Structure 1
Amino acid sequence: MSVTVLASIDLALLLVAAGFGLTSLLAWRRHRGSGRLPTAKIITHLSLQVIGIATWTAFVVTGAVPIAWTAFVVLTAGQVFGDLLMFASYRARNPGTTRPHYLAVGGDVLSFRRPAPALHALVGALAWFSMLAICVFSTVADAAAG
């Protein structure tokens, strides 16, 4: 299977993850109201993910390895803000919790009590690790070819 095909499949995974993320955000907004959401973190996460997906799309079209790595870095930065949102959501649903542990928060998400965030996390992780593998493989193949 070619790198372009793998990168295209990964692009589809990114779009599916984005769909679950949007579904999750809309549910959070319905439940909490727009005035109580961490708007700056949401905008930053969304912006970086959209830029990362657009950059990955450019890699699919061009095959340029530096573009793949740029997309990976941008999406990784965006995921940091996604984790911050995961913590904010956990604290909002568990009043009085000030410093929850990552395993508790991750376990809460992966409990599937809220399917959209769980699927967003799982599909997003699959897409991220696939991106990393594609970036590494593309780098090695590019170096071997030239």
Structure 2
Amino acid sequence: MGIVAFAFVDLVFLLVTASIGLGMLVSWWRQNDAEFPTFKLVTHAILQVTSIALWVSFIVTQELALAWTTFAVITAGQTFGDLVMFASYRSRMSVVGSVPYFAAARDVLSFRRPAPAVHAI
């Protein structure tokens, strides 16, 4: 299987992850949570949608610089995704202040809420 085939497989995973994220966003928004982390969510979404566009550009052009740029943008977007994970944990667990990373990650990866677990993976 060539690099383009792997790139298409990756694109499918990116699109599935994005669709799960969109579903979670709509669900959270409908809850009218006063703690809704608008800036973090919007930044996370913009960076991840940008990374998908960059990845498609890489598939079309096969320019390695685009692949590395995509990696950088995904990484920055993931940082904001982690901030959203902390905000979600604080909101659901009624925690004030900082949250240990492993507590929030363990909560997400416990699969008690399958959509966030799959989205995170």
Give the TM-score band, short-chain normalised: over 0.9
What is the deviation of 1:65?
Answer: 0.1
1:112 corresponds in structure 2 to: 111
> Following the alignment from structure 1 to structure 2, what is the Cα–Cα distance between the partners of residues 50 and 58?
13
Which residue number corresponds to residue 26 of structure 1? 26
TM-score (norm 1): 0.79
C-alpha displacement of 1:35: 4.9
Contact kept, 8 Å, 2:35 with 2:91, in 1: the verdict is no
Provide the aligned C-alpha RMSD in A: 1.2
Instruction: Give the direction of change, closer, same or farther, for the CA distance of 1:103–1:36 in structure 2 (3 Å limit).
Output: closer
User: In 2, distance between residues paired with 1:104 and 1:71?
Assistant: 29
Q: Which amino acid aligns with 2:76?
A: A
1:96 equivalent to 2:95? Answer yes
Alpha-carbon offset, residue 96 of structure 1: 3.1
Q: Describe the superposition over 1:54-80 as per-residue Cα deviations: whole angstroms up to 9, x where unpaired.
A: 000000111100011011101110000
Q: Determine which structure has greater relative contact order: mean sequence separation of CA pairs < 8 Å that are 6+ residues apart, divided by chain length.
A: 1
- Residue 37 of structure 1 corresponds to 36
Structure number with higher helix proportion: 1
The reply on whether 1:82 has 2:91 as its aligned counterpart is no
What is the Cα deviation at residue 34 of structure 1?
5.9
Deviation at 1:121, TM superposition (A): 0.5
- Secondary structure of the 2:26 match is helix
- Structure 2 gaps of 5+ residues are none
Give the number of equivalent residue pairs: 121
The structure whose Rg is larger is 1
- AA aligned to 1:12 is V
**CA distance, structure 2, for counterparts of residue 65 and residue 9 of structure 1:** 17
CA contact (8 A) 2:8 2:59 kept: yes
